[in-house]
Structure 1
């Protein structure tokens, strides 16, 4: 009997508009479209950059509650400072967003996507 080996994780983020989310992730965050269930009006799609893939799933606005706990992704990244410069140039986040060094030995860049899903890019120091 061999051991089960896990290779990747593809988190699914809820969004109200998959096309708008695809635009944000591709044009602002530098991802590319991995797939979409419909090219004109997708309800489920995936984006990828380097070694990660994030899935985006449409949710009806009637079910939507921005005040509810939102997903937060922590993405291991090389050179967070460079990523900060890239995203700052594209005006991805507000002017108060900074790269922070933590007490637990990481350097982190955190902000929200269009639908209040949290994204933290971090590296060990």
Structure 2
């Protein structure tokens, strides 16, 4: 038995997608991520994208069952939230109510949905 204590290194959320190649393009072209892997070069059903130390996995779900697929809300703790807001505001990813705001729980943040309805919030702690 190992005497070493376990250490959590990272987590890679798996986001549902009804068109993995389209969602890969969204994360690369709109959000500045890089493709790390995909399961094949033809009918891509599973892929990973990353930006800095953040990795996301994208997994195909049947479009016929899409209404029953729950979409997560991810919160990205980042440095430079204002700069990222400025980077994304001209990429046509925000909805009409997206704004950089200070919250009562001590963050400065903005949020929007990706091309397949997964919620993304980017924040910095202000306290």
Length-normalised TM-score, structure 1: 0.94
Write the distance in 1 (CA, Å) between the matches of 2:41 and 2:89. Answer: 29
When the two chains are superposed, the root-mean-square deviation of aligned CA atoms in Å is 1.2
* Equivalent residue, structure 1, for 2:109: 108
| CA distance in 2 between partners of 1:38 and 1:15 (Å) | 16
Look up the match of 1:15: 17
SS in 2 for 1:78: coil
Which one is further off, 98-107 or 57-66? 57-66
Q: Which residue of 1 aligns with 2:76?
A: 75
Gaps of 5+ in 2: none
Measured in 1, the distance between the counterparts of 2:43 and 2:49 equals 16
- Report the Cα distance in structure 1 between the residues aligned to 2:88 and 2:96, rounded to whole angstroms: 11
1:1-125 paired onto structure 2 within 5 Å: 1-65=3-67, 69-125=70-126
Unaligned runs of 5+ in 1: none
Helix, strand or coil at the partner of 1:65: helix
Change (3 A) 1:64 1:32: same
3-state SS in 2 of match to 1:103: coil
Distance in 1 of aligned mates of 2:54 and 2:63 = 28
Q: How far apart, CA to CA, are the structure 1 residues paired with 2:70 and 2:28?
A: 25
How many aligned positions are there?
124
CA distance in 2, matches of 1:116, 1:88: 18
For residue 86 of structure 1, give the secondary structure of its aligned residue in structure 2: helix
